[in-house]
Amino acid sequence: MRVVLLGPPGAGKGTQAQFIAGRLAVPAISTGDIFRANVSGQTELGLKAKVFMDAGDLVPDEVTVAMVKDRLAEPDAKAGFLLDGFPRTIAQAEQLAESLADLGHGLDRVLELVVEEEELVRRLSGRRMLVDGQMVQRDDDKPETVRHRLEVYREQTAPLSGFYERVGLLSQIEAIGSVEEVTARALRALGVDPEDPDTSAAPADA
């Protein structure tokens, strides 16, 4: 199954991506994680991306799209994937559709995690991640950067909701409540029974 997970910063995409992808037995591919790994490793890609990430801006499409194409060409993504944090612009979505079409594929579903903005700000300002055994705040989770990331989301990424709705791929998922409840809603939208570990993950485009 080929799935995109959309949603604003703080909606819980990373956490849900792990659970949903685990249940579908496909890799969860997070562009944010790939960028952060490259920043830590001080690669050329990381150095390019860091300036944009620190400012809460999007990394330019050409850099991001090339990176995702490479990742999707790896063997573990051949039979399916769950993309977390990509696409984030209409141009990225169009290029993803083209790359998949070249391979004779398409997306099965796009899940949009929906959370009110007030709740997002609350979650992001309290968010910490584990780095070298210590809980630290991501540089881009600082309050002023958070506000800018939400603006960038509204302007550049939110239009993807309508884009995917028009092609009949969108399922909106209310992303409040426990992690398990949200995962169960997402799985149902994919036609997978959350209670039954043996349900095959059939495309839910009916």
Q: What is the three-class DSSP state of 49?
A: helix
128 is catalytic: no
Contact between 194 and 187 under an 8 Å Cβ cutoff? The reply is yes
Instruction: Note whether 140 binds ligand AMP by CB under 6 A.
Output: yes
In the list 15, 48, 50, 52, the residue contacting ligand AMP (rule: CB under 6 A) is 52
127 is catalytic: yes
Q: Which of 13, 23, 36, 109 is catalytic?
A: 13
71 is catalytic: no
Instruction: Note whether 19 binds ligand AMP by CB under 6 A.
Output: no
Q: Specify which residues 174 forms β-bridges with.
A: 114
Is residue 99 exposed (0-12), middle (13-18) or buried (19+ Cβ within 10 Å)?
Answer: middle
For 66, residues 6+ apart whose C-beta sits below 8 A from its C-beta are none
In the list 7, 12, 27, 32, the residue contacting ligand AMP (rule: CB under 6 A) is 32
Instruction: Note whether 149 binds ligand AMP by CB under 6 A.
Output: yes
CA–CA distance, 202 with 194 (Å, rounded to integer): 13
Residue closer to ligand AMP (CB basis): 71 or 149: 149
Instruction: Note whether 81 binds ligand AMP by CB under 6 A.
Output: no
Residue closer to ligand AMP (CB basis): 14 or 191: 14
Q: How far is the CB of 80 from ligand AMP (least distance, A)?
A: 19
Q: Is the dihedral of CA 5, 9, 14, 20 positive or negative?
A: negative
Instruction: Note whether 88 binds ligand AMP by CB under 6 A.
Output: yes
Q: Which of 48, 50, 123, 138 is catalytic?
A: 138
Contact between 53 and 35 under an 8 Å Cβ cutoff? The reply is yes
CA–CA distance, 113 with 182 (Å, rounded to integer): 9
CA–CA distance, 36 with 26 (Å, rounded to integer): 21
Q: How far is the CB of 107 from ligand AMP (least distance, A)?
A: 15
Q: How far is the CB of 31 from ligand AMP (least distance, A)?
A: 3
Q: Which residues are catalytic?
A: 13, 88, 127, 138, 149
Please give the residue ranges that form the binding site for ligand AMP (CB under 6 A). Answer: 9, 31-32, 35, 52-53, 56-59, 64, 85-88, 92, 140, 149
